[in-house]
């Protein structure tokens, strides 16, 4: 686990637009060119205005000065704080009812936020967790993403015009098991479960842990929205860190493996067919839980 960082807070001088729907949290670690592209896409391709809040880790390559020059809300740590501390710090500056987590190596496609907003309006309560759908250049076997659709592996060779021309041809059904960014949750729920768990710093498995905390709080609507699309350059920050053993931490904390949670609770990646139900003690789940207990015993 990372040592608790010293974080400073810099709310913008002006209030966000009264029309702002989301407070978008963007952790960034010396990733200026991706951060610029991400923010530019949000400003250009969103249907609504939003509050943008960046957490700047180090910022030694110019991102700290750039964020200041843009007049954005931001938080700052001289060393990398990891995603959990970064998100929790940035969330403290949120001034809308809905918190969105966005990676800085994402480019949002037109209307991404409108599709999420329609789901929020239709939900009927604050007990939901929605994710957008990532388009990725490489196929990693993730059933929740559109891949492989290669529109560039970095900012320098990003084919933005081609992506925008082809976006309507890239379609996916809504899916079960919202976990990854971009995701949106009501601020009341964020505060109820305590944001992201810092014991998972620098951040491996913090996403499924957050989903599990929401599950424990009673959320059963975990929906991936197929039409809310972003292009993801894939792990430009996680390639630089020493990773925590998130799989073991998740097992120790919750008593089941992540794969058991994904398959039997969230049904992650299957077609969306309504709110999830409390899991039944079928043979497969009992067997998975037995394997989890055996693994936990030897950790």
Sole residue written with tokens 């390559």: 61
Specify the CATH number for the domain of residue 36.
3.90.550.10
Residues 6+ apart with CB under 8 A from 270: 143, 175, 176, 177
Task: Indicate the SS3 state at residue 33.
Answer: helix
Q: Is the pLDDT of residue 298 over 60?
A: no
Q: Is residue 197 part of a domain?
A: yes
Percentage of the chain beyond pLDDT 70 is 93
Q: Is residue 50 part of a domain?
A: yes
- The pLDDT tens digits of the residues spanning 233-251 come to 986 656 677 888 999 999 9
Q: Is residue 117 part of a domain?
A: yes
Look at the chain and report how many structural domains it folds into.
Answer: 1
Q: Is the pLDDT of residue 295 over 90?
A: no
* pLDDT bracket for residue 16 (50, 70, 90): confident
Percentage of the chain beyond pLDDT 90 is 83
- The pLDDT tens digits of the residues spanning 18-28 come to 789 999 999 99
pLDDT at site 183 = 98
pLDDT at site 238 = 62
Q: Is residue 60 part of a domain?
A: yes
- The pLDDT tens digits of the residues spanning 188-213 come to 999 999 999 999 988 899 999 999 99
Nearest to 54 by CA among 108, 11, 6: 11
* pLDDT bracket for residue 284 (50, 70, 90): confident
The chain-wide mean pLDDT, for the chain, equals 92
Q: Which residue has the higher pLDDT, 197 or 4?
A: 197
Is residue 54 within 8 A of residue 26, CB to CB? The reply is: yes
244 vs 137: CA distance, rounded Å: 26
217 vs 251: CA distance, rounded Å: 19
Burial class (CB in 10 A: 0-12, 13-18, 19+), 53: buried
Residue 165 CA, chain-centre distance (Å), reads: 26
Peptide bond into 79 cis (omega under 30): no
* pLDDT bracket for residue 283 (50, 70, 90): low
**End-to-end CA distance of the chain, in Å?**
17
Element (H, E) at 135: strand 129-135
What does pTM read for this prediction?
A: 0.93
Task: Indicate the SS3 state at residue 56.
Answer: strand
Q: Which domain holds residue 137?
A: 7-239
Q: What are the start-end ranges of the H helices in the chain? A: 32-45, 63-70, 82-91, 112-123, 160-166, 187-193, 206-216, 246-254, 258-260, 283-297
- The pLDDT tens digits of the residues spanning 142-166 come to 999 999 999 999 999 999 999 999 9
Q: Is residue 245 part of a domain?
A: no
Q: Is residue 34 part of a domain?
A: yes
**Crossing angle of helices 246-254 and 206-216, rounded to 10°:** 20
Q: Is the pLDDT of residue 296 over 60?
A: yes
Peptide bond into 290 cis (omega under 30): no
Q: Is the pLDDT of residue 128 over 80?
A: yes
Q: Is the pLDDT of residue 1 over 90?
A: no
Q: Is residue 170 part of a domain?
A: yes
Is residue 285 within 8 A of residue 279, CB to CB? The reply is: yes
Burial class (CB in 10 A: 0-12, 13-18, 19+), 278: exposed
Q: Is residue 256 part of a domain?
A: no
Residue 69: CB atoms within 10 Å: 9
Q: Is the pLDDT of residue 2 over 80?
A: no
Q: Is the pLDDT of residue 170 over 70?
A: yes
Nearest to 289 by CA among 264, 269, 253: 264
Q: Which of 129-133, 138-142, 226-230 shows the lowest mean pLDDT across its residues?
A: 138-142
């Amino acid at each position: 686990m990372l040592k608790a960082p010293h974080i400073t807070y810099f709310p913008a001088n002006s209030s966000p637009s009264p029309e702002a729907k989301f407070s978008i949290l963007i952790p960034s670690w010396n990733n200026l060119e991706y951060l610029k592209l991400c923010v530019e896409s949000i400003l250009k391709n969103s249907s609504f205005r939003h509050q943008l809040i960046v957490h700047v880790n180090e910022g030694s390559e110019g991102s700290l000065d750039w964020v200041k020059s843009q007049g954005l809300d931001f938080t700052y740590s001289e060393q990398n704080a990891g995603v959990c501390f970064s998100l929790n710090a940035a969330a403290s500056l949120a001034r809308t009812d809905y918190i969105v987590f966005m990676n800085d190596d994402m480019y949002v496609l037109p209307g991404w936020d409108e599709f999420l907003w329609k789901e929020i309006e239709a939900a009927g309560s604050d007990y939901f967790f929605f994710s957008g759908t990532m388009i990725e250049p490489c196929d990693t076997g993730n059933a929740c993403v559109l891949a492989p659709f290669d529109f560039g592996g970095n900012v320098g060779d990003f084919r933005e015009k081609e992506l925008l021309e082809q976006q309507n041809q890239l379609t996916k059904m809504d899916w079960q098991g919202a976990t990854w960014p971009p995701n949106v949750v009501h601020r009341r729920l964020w505060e109820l479960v305590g944001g992201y768990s810092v014991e998972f710093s620098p951040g491996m498995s913090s996403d499924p842990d957050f989903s599990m905390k929401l599950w424990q709080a009673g959320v059963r609507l975990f929906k991936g929205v197929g039409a809310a699309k972003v292009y993801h350059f894939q792990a430009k920050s996680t390639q630089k860190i020493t990773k925590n053993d998130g799989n073991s931490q998740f097992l120790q904390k919750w008593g089941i493996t992540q794969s058991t949670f994904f398959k039997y609770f969230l049904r992650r990646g299957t077609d969306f067919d309504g709110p999830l139900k409390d899991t039944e003690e079928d043979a497969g789940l009992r067997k998975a839980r037995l394997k989890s207990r055996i693994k936990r015993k030897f950790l």
